Amino acid sequence: MSSMFGKVKAGNSADRSPAECNLVLLGAMGSGKSALTVKFLTKRFICEYDPYLEDIYTSEEIVDQQPVTVRVMDTCDQEGPVNSERYLSWANAFLVVYSINNMESFKGSQLYLQTLALHNKTFRPRTPIILVGNKLDMDRYRPVSQCDAEAVASRFGCLFFEVSACLDFLSVQHVFYEAVRRARQG
């Protein structure tokens, strides 16, 4: 009986699995936030993208057989986590991006993780965070080891993936879909 009632309620705003999900991409300039966003939305790699363009894009997706309107905020902070109020309570999940071939971007990602950890101390439900090492195609030139990044991810209690915006689409899609799944878990 209760499961039938659950079905009737599906789609209701009080449902545990919201039909909308707001994702925010954060990280140092040049880490590939826009390239990942464009890849997720169009399956294509665009190598030149306006570095000063911050925007929100919407895409209708089906994640685990459930339709969801995914909104992606592609940020472009030039000085780390400043004016973070604009996305902190809007987000249902955060993707903190760095580039595996750039140590500064990895350090920068930790500033974002600290800001988000502070936010999650008081904000309920706690907003899930995914640490994303981008530019996996540059594996030969990496100063940031997978092991170091895993250690940071576990310290901040977040998921961790390495991807490349210019390699396969499904790996990039997987990261965005994992963000939706985590957000659904509330």
Angstrom distance (rounded) from CA 131 to CA 110: 9
Smallest gap from residue 119 Cβ to ligand GDP (A): 21
For 44-58, give the DSSP string: ---S---TT--EEEE
Pairing of strands 20-27, 66-74: parallel
Angstrom distance (rounded) from CA 122 to CA 71: 24
Smallest gap from residue 46 Cβ to Mg ion (A): 11
Which residue lies nearer to Mg ion by CB, 33 or 119? 33
Residue among 133, 153, 164, 184 that touches ligand GDP (CB under 6 A)? 164
- Footprint of ligand GDP on 93-122 (CB under 6 A): none
| 28-67 footprint of ligand GDP as x/- string (CB under 6 A) | -xxxxxxx-----------x-x-x----------------
Q: Phi/psi of residue 94, each to 5°?
A: -115, 140
Smallest gap from residue 166 Cβ to ligand GDP (A): 5
Angstrom distance (rounded) from CA 131 to CA 178: 12
Q: Which two tokens stand for residue 9?
A: 């309620």
Residue among 130, 159, 166, 175 that touches ligand GDP (CB under 6 A)? 166
Which residue lies nearer to Mg ion by CB, 31 or 92? 31
- Footprint of Mg ion on 34-93 (CB under 5 A): 34, 76
Angstrom distance (rounded) from CA 119 to CA 114: 9
| Adjacent-strand bridge partners of 161 | 132
3-state secondary structure of 84: coil
Using CB under 6 A as the binding rule, whether residue 135 contacts ligand GDP is answered as yes
- Footprint of Mg ion on 16-35 (CB under 5 A): 33-34
Count of residues of this chain found to bind ligand GDP when the rule CB under 6 A is applied: 18
